[in-house]
Structure 1
Amino acid sequence: MSSRSSARLGRSIALHLLLTPLALIWLFPLWMMVVFSTMPDNGIFSPGIELLPHGNFIDNFNNLQRDTNFVGAIGISVSVAVTYTILSVLLTSMAGWALARYQFFGKGVVVAIILGTITLPYAVVLIPQFIMVARDFKLANTWVALIVP
């Protein structure tokens, strides 16, 4: 084995030894969600920590569906996310292509406005946007209010 390949192997082992515990730390909360989803209601807040799932997942899921219509809510979330993604990709790619391809009066101002709105934190826009959508446009509790802003 050459010194170059042994150095590469050593770096690879060191990298895996460093990243494996980090991956386990990242995966632990996800694993605990699976474990908690199989526990009865009173077991989640018990003082001991259980690390292995129980056999109540189907019962818990049926109770969740009966109480909250969870599958319907997931369906709405997926529908809104897919619609928003398709519209965003379509509109932003068309705008980007037009701004890159054509020279027109005020192009610099349009680009500056777009970049200015991107740099604003969403918390600055959240309350005025909510007031505008809910009160002015009367779109509260509609899919349009989730997709358009």
Structure 2
Amino acid sequence: MTEKAPATQRPPMPTATRVAVVLMALLGVLLLLNSALTWIAQREVVDRLVSSGVDRSEAAQTLLLFGLAYTVIGLTALTAAAFLPRRRAWARRLGVLVTSLLAVVTLLSILAAAAASALSLLLMVCSVAALTSLLTRPTKDWLAGSPAHD
């Protein structure tokens, strides 16, 4: 004889939601790691940009701008990933905001550079996949307390 789950027990997290949590955590870690490594090797990165024909002050400013943006986006993605499993609806909205912002920023950087690096492709794929997972019906329903439809 099988036991019925108590009516007060919460439905399990849908697969799409788990995927979103894992991808946002991965994005957060990657972006923070990228920012930290870029900050540590700041002089070398600026020198490399200058050797490719970019003005030194413009290169330093661009590096600072992307470093700050990636740090804020990374911390925000980690926050959303930490609170989404706790069924916080604001964490889903924050995740949608941060993943869509990251996809746009990554796309603009690819277009500006007229080339895509392995990191930019990874960021693009992960951000779009996380965004799609956050926008699925099972994720919305699970946060609203409805049964999961995996």
TM range (shorter): 0.3 to 0.5
Q: TM-score, normalised by structure 1?
A: 0.33
Between 1 and 2, higher relative CO (CA 8 Å, sep ≥ 6) is seen in 2
**Which structure would you say has the larger Rg?**
1
